Each structure stands twice: as C-alpha cells, then as structure tokens.
Amino acid sequence: MRRGWGERRWAIMGIAAAVLGGGATLASVIGAGAVVGGGAGPDQALIEEALQAPLPTDPGSHVGGAALERQVFADGHVTFDEYERAVLSAIQCVRDQGFTVVGPYRYPEGPLVYSPGEDPSYRLTYGVIDTADEPRQGEVLARCEAQWLYRIQYVWLGKHAPTAAETQAWLERAWACARARGVPLSEPPTEDDAMDAVAAGCRPWETTPSP
C-alpha cells in the first residue's frame, strides 16, 4: 500500500502499525452465539469471512463496537455511510484517549492512500498529529480500529477490491502515463514503477488516462 504526505506523524486509518497481540478471531471477540450478519444481502459472504479473520490486535472492551457491527451487518450489506460511521467511531475513540485527530478525508482531499488496482476514493483516511507519545499513539490507533472499524472496513474494502484483470489494466494505464511523462520504467515494468508514476501525477484509477 502506498500513501502520500510522507510525514511519519500521519497514521492512516486501516494501516496502524502497532500489533498488540495475536490469535484472537473476530467471532471470539463478538462472543459465541452472537447473531451478526444474519441477512442474505450481497455482502454476506464477505461478512462471514470477516467474522473468521484474525484481529490485528486485542481490542479490549468491545461492547459498543460489537453493537455497531450487529447493526451494520444485519441486512448483509455494507454501505459507504455505514463504513463512514465506523471510521468516525474509531476517530472518536482515539480522541477520547487525548490525541488530536484530523479528518476523515476522502480522495482527492487528504493523503493519497491506495494499493495497485484500487480507486482511492473508496477509502477514508485520518491523521493523528500528536507525536510526543508515538508508542502509545500506535497502541491506541490499533485498539480503536479493532474495536470500531476493522470488521466493517474488511467488508467495505473487500467488496471494492479489484479483480486481477482490473489491477492489470490499472498498472498498464500507470505505465503508459509514466512513459508519456518521461518517468523511467524497468523492463518489464513493475508495480513500483506504477506507484512512481502515481507520485509523478498519474491517476490510473480514472477512466480518462492522465497525460
């Protein structure tokens, strides 16, 4: 994943670096017997997958987050508004721990965060601008994301994940733009070359190629 605004102080939603523990599963944190995602909506398979995926960290208390997940997953469908609600809940959790947070941002505002093949407008980002206590900042970010965001974001980004063909087309648009702009390419060109093209101003997720 690549992100713009290369300042270390930025902690981007969904990629907090701190990992406080392993082994917990989404289902075990919600609790045995909990009914989540009981509907038959278009995202049901991803919801069930999310409930079995390992959490990136121990979320601590999860009462509020579990209630939000039950509401969001009940109809088997995750909307942008529901994803945004989870992001805002995670941000508030970080603020409640005394950190200053800016955002959320949605492309083209804020830092550019993407993986090859992605349209960055599907992803919300935020920044924690306090740097005096970076170790605790990382712990708080990871815990708040696990509490409020991880499962819902898993489904939201999963449903918008590009296919192999879409990713290849994205890369080819980036390489074509790089050639037009005089950005050096390897032979054959690589994903890193495509990301360098984005840094040079190419926007391969747009249907109209960047000149």
- Give the pLDDT of residue 94: 94
- Give the pLDDT of residue 39: 56
- Give the pLDDT of residue 32: 28
| 132, 99 contact by CB (below 8 A) | no
Same structural domain, 6 and 58: yes
Same structural domain, 83 and 149: yes
Same structural domain, 21 and 65: yes
Same structural domain, 181 and 150: no
Q: Which two tokens stand for residue 61?
A: 């208390």
Give, in degrees to the nearest 5, the angle at Cα 124 between 121 and 127. 130
Same structural domain, 187 and 116: no
- Tokens 């995202």 belong to which residue? 43
- 145, part of any domain: yes
SS3 label, residue 154: helix
CB 28: neighbour CB atoms within 10 A? 13
Same structural domain, 116 and 73: yes
Same structural domain, 39 and 116: yes
Write the CA distances from 77 to 16, 24, 170, integer angstroms. 26, 24, 27
Write the CA distances from 169 to 4, 95, 128, 184, 198, integer angstroms. 22, 40, 34, 19, 14
Q: What is the domain range of residue 191? A: 164-199
Same structural domain, 146 and 174: no
What's the predicted TM-score (pTM) here? 0.78
Number of domains in the chain: 2
Amino acid residing at 148: W
Same structural domain, 59 and 141: yes
pLDDT in tens, the chain (211 residues): 554 333 333 344 443 322 223 333 333 333 323 334 455 799 999 999 998 887 787 766 667 888 999 999 999 999 999 999 999 999 999 999 999 999 999 999 999 999 999 999 999 999 988 767 778 888 999 999 999 999 999 999 999 999 999 999 999 999 999 999 999 999 999 999 999 999 999 999 997 554 4
